Chain A
Amino acid sequence: MVLGLSAKKEKIDATAGVSLAASAWKRLRRSPVFLTGAVIIGLFILVSLLAPWLAPHNPADPMLIDQVVKARNEIPPSQPGHPLGGDLQGRDFLSRVLVGSQQTLIVGVVATLFGLTGGLILGTLAGALGGWVDSLVMRVVDVMLSLPSLLLAFSIAAMFSRPSQFTVILAVSIVQIPVFARLLRGSMLAQRHSDHVLAATALGVKKGAIVFRHMLPNSLGPVIVQSTLVLATAIIEAAALSFLGLGNPDDRTPEWGQMLGDVQKVFDTHPHLAAWPAICIIIVALGFTLMGETLREALDPKNRR
């Protein structure tokens, strides 16, 4: 009993003086779940960077078009040089799946950055300034949150008469702004009367410097976690937009969500055309989610031991 207690005490002493980020990283490095997610995402990024060299053919080239028989609903089967066969336009399907990772990564990252930036600006303004700015920002956020987020994304995408990759990214990212804004505002408000901000104010540090050097860095933990999770939802929601005909109609540069949404009419006859992009999306979304969830646990001071 006594031994057990003293052992526990030593353990606490060992971590004393270690920052939250450092202790979180220490735990993450040993978490198999986090590592699985990191490996998935690492591979995903690697494939999307190397896609032009990995892909055996040009993904926009209808090289197998003579094997496509529209009337009999026939598409090019698996054959030497084309292990996954061709798609409905006779383009090499393997190349399209590989190159599709690029646009998928871009949609996820850019949508998350847009949402994050919008949320950062609104949340920081509201939390740091308070008063009427806070009320105004929060009313805007309330209106945006009074619709289920995916439905809001559909509505925003439907505003544009000519959908494109950009409108997809815009629709998916705008719905993320209120979440980020609320996160930041909450943690800003919590810090306004905390000791370190009080100390900085007493030392005569300018308000802007307090916000950017003292308050913002302390709020980033939950924001990073949320960003990881948004990367996953952005990719899935982009697929849903394509499914409803609100996606990018130009399919010369493939994107997994678009590939999945566009083949809905032939799902019964050529399920593999949907299955490959779907499996890719599921694995990547799972990778981001695994990383996000383990990050959340690791950054939670409650779990610090």
Chain B
Amino acid sequence: MLRYTIRRLIQLVGVVLVLSLLLFAWLRVLPGGPVSALLGERATPESREALTKQLGLDQPIFVQYFKFLGRAATGDFGVSTGVQPGDSALEIFLQRFPATLELSFFAILIAILVGVPLGYIAAKRRGSWFDNVSVVGSLIGVAVPVFFLAYVLKGVASSALGLPSSGRQDAIDATRVTGFFTLDGMITGEWDATLNALEHLILPAIALATIPFAVIFRITRAAVLDVLDEDFVRTAESKGLTAPVIRRRHVLRNAMLPVVTTIGLQTGALLSGAVLTEKVFSFSGVGEALAIGFERRDYPVLLLLIIMATIVYVVVNLLVDLSYALIDPRIRTR
């Protein structure tokens, strides 16, 4: 188990290095390169040359890459040119990461709390109208472009329910402790700040939750259907075990393996949806920074955020693999 974890972490280092090399090469082959990105198309030749020298772009590309790695090791990933011009890329990441974590947490929570029970009920009542409606609903959920749904929620739900439609919190006097706005209020006892942050969270979280919900629902339904067919469930029923015991110990436990895999994969993939959702709701997280970065071609920020996204994605997948052993003791022996 430990050796497996270490091997996977070493693989992660390899993947990040390869990816950083690719991203680095990508930055250099861009038309005009970073100099144009920094100075714009209308810069004078003299200032271009000065910046080229200053950035070390006149040196061979491998020298540049190793210098970049050296600076990266000290946390220097360059300065933002478009998202928050002048701020360091690392600063932007650290400042925005808690927002995206918070949003992702609530989104996946909603997806699990709705998707797993619905999937279980749909499987139990296979072929009923409830089953059919929820299956079609989940298929529609995957077919709706996330940002369109976010706009609909923003336009309809925010005016109907009086919920705020942009930002992370109103400009209220709240003490910052952790960067997680919902947690800060709980720590300092400023409950109104927590409530306000939650009100800002709910709509983007619902928009972000649709796709993971639809996928988790369908996998749960399929997994429960598979397990319900198994002999051990029939044995448990004929032994006279009560329904809750069969559900918890025999059906759910055995159906959970594919569901946990899916939850993990969906958690990792949330960042893609967050790019779109956070942009619609002006929710100042990593996703919004990526959206603005893509729009304004802010390469230093994009480079760092994409590398960070990779690390998070791979680590989440590793945690999923490790959790198998906790759920299914048969895997532990290998």
Contact = CB atoms under 8 A, between A and B. Distances in A.
Interface of A: 142-143, 146-151, 154-155, 157-159, 161, 232, 236, 239-240, 243-246, 257, 260-261, 264, 267-268, 271, 274, 278, 281-283, 285-286, 289-290, 293
A268 B22 CA distance: 40
List the 3 shortest-distance A-B pairs measured between CB atoms, nearest first: A150-B272, A285-B143, A148-B269
Nearest to A232: B143
Interface of B: 11, 15, 18-19, 22, 26, 30-32, 139-140, 142-148, 151, 155, 268-273, 275-276, 279, 290-291, 294-295, 297, 302, 306, 309-310, 313-314
A244 B279 contact: yes
Contacts of B290: 151, 154
Nearest to A162: B31
A293 B146 CA distance: 21
Contacts of A285: 142-143
Given A149-B269, A268-B155, A271-B155, A244 B295 contact: yes
Given A146-B314, A151-B271, A282 B294 contact: no
B306 A151 contact: yes
21 contacts: A142-B11, A143-B15, A146-B313, A147-B310, A148-B269, A149-B269, A149-B272, A150-B269, A151-B309, A161-B30, A239-B145, A239-B147, A240-B145, A240-B146, A243-B145, A267-B155, A282-B144, A283-B143, A286-B139, A286-B140, A289-B142
Given A148-B309, A244-B295, A245-B295, A142 B15 contact: yes
Classify the secondary structure of A's interface with B.
helix
A206 B145 CA distance: 48
Nearest to B22: A143
A148 B147 contact: no
Contact of A260 (B19, B143, B145): B145
Contacts of B32: 161
Contacts of B31: 161
B19 A143 contact: yes
User: Which residue of B139, B143, B294, B306 has the most chain A CB atoms within 10 A of its CB atom?
Assistant: B143
B23 to A, nearest CB: 8
User: Which residue of A143, A157, A261 has the most chain B CB atoms within 10 A of its CB atom?
Assistant: A143
B24 to A, nearest CB: 13
B330 to A, nearest CB: 22
Nearest to A150: B272
A157 B313 CA distance: 21
A147 B306 contact: yes
